[in-house]
Amino acid sequence: MGASSDNVTGFILAVSSSIFIGSSFIIKKMGLKKAGATGKRAASGGHAYLREPCWWFGMISMIVGEIANFAAYAFAPALLVTPLGALSIIFSAVLAHFILKERLHIFGVLGCALCVVGSTTIVLHAPHERDIHSVKEVWELATEPGFLIYGCLVVVVVCILIFYYVPRYGQSHLIVYVGICSLTGSITVMSVKAVSIAMKLTFEGNNQFVYFQTWFFTIIVIGCCLLQINYLNKEWDTQDASQIATEVCGFVTILSGTFLLHKTKDMGNKPIQTPVFTAPEHEDNSTAT
């Protein structure tokens, strides 16, 4: 994608975002533990953590990280920024090992390593992103039939997870909360990209907030972020950081493996050319005589 100044700025913002967000998970986990010791746990529907200063400090750290991530989308393509978000998982796993004393076993370490390899592969081999000059262009892409179908499927699956699986399996199966946050996050990325482009163009003198599309994407971002924060709190209250890092990195490893298989599927299909040996020409002439 080229090491342009905008890409370098986006890269630095994305990495700093991962550091802030990864730290916020640990700080909020500490706040959730303190709140759970004196009141109803978040996983059981309690909100005692809202009175815990440590949790709010972690929330501030997350907000700073999300602002940096938000700004990164304005400077660099989503194909560069999004995979770097995996660094927050690794950073939080390392901090949990030393601060929360949550042991990260060998499979978690392997998962983190493969997570880095997968993210690096995606970043290095990502195609060039289309240049977007207006929020209306993002709106045109978002209203194409393919994305509309995908968006409807995401809404349906998230509703099924929230209203059917969370009450029954939420506290025992981490994948329920991860599924809600991940599916919602796929919509959040598109909306954040649109809003960040709108803000960047507005600061450059081309006001994008006169279009209703900008406000629509803003509402989507706020709604998705609130939903993700709610279920992230439940997720971190029921599991420790090493379990979350292991399972999420394992999930990313599967995606990375699928990506690598897809990229290399045709490498072994090239026909093997068997060498053909022919007799020298002078030998053929001597035989004929």
Q: How many residues does the chain have?
A: 289
Highest mean pLDDT among 38-42, 103-107, 281-285: 103-107
Measured between alpha carbons, how far is 110 from 34 in angstroms, rounded to an integer? 31
Q: Which residue has the higher pLDDT, 268 or 169?
A: 169
In our burial notation (b when 16+ CB lie closer than 10 A, e otherwise), range 111-142 reads bbebbbebbeebbeeeeeeeebebbeebbeeb
Measured between alpha carbons, how far is 61 from 147 in angstroms, rounded to an integer? 32
Measured between alpha carbons, how far is 30 from 101 in angstroms, rounded to an integer? 12
Residue 113 has pLDDT above 80, yes or no: no
- Cβ count within 10 A of residue 202: 15
pLDDT digits (tens, 9 = 90+) for 143-196: 999 999 999 999 999 999 999 988 888 777 777 887 888 888 888 888 888 888
Query: What residues contact 256, with CB distance under 8 A and at least 6 apart?
Result: 114, 115, 117, 118, 119, 121, 122
Highest mean pLDDT among 167-171, 244-248, 276-280: 167-171
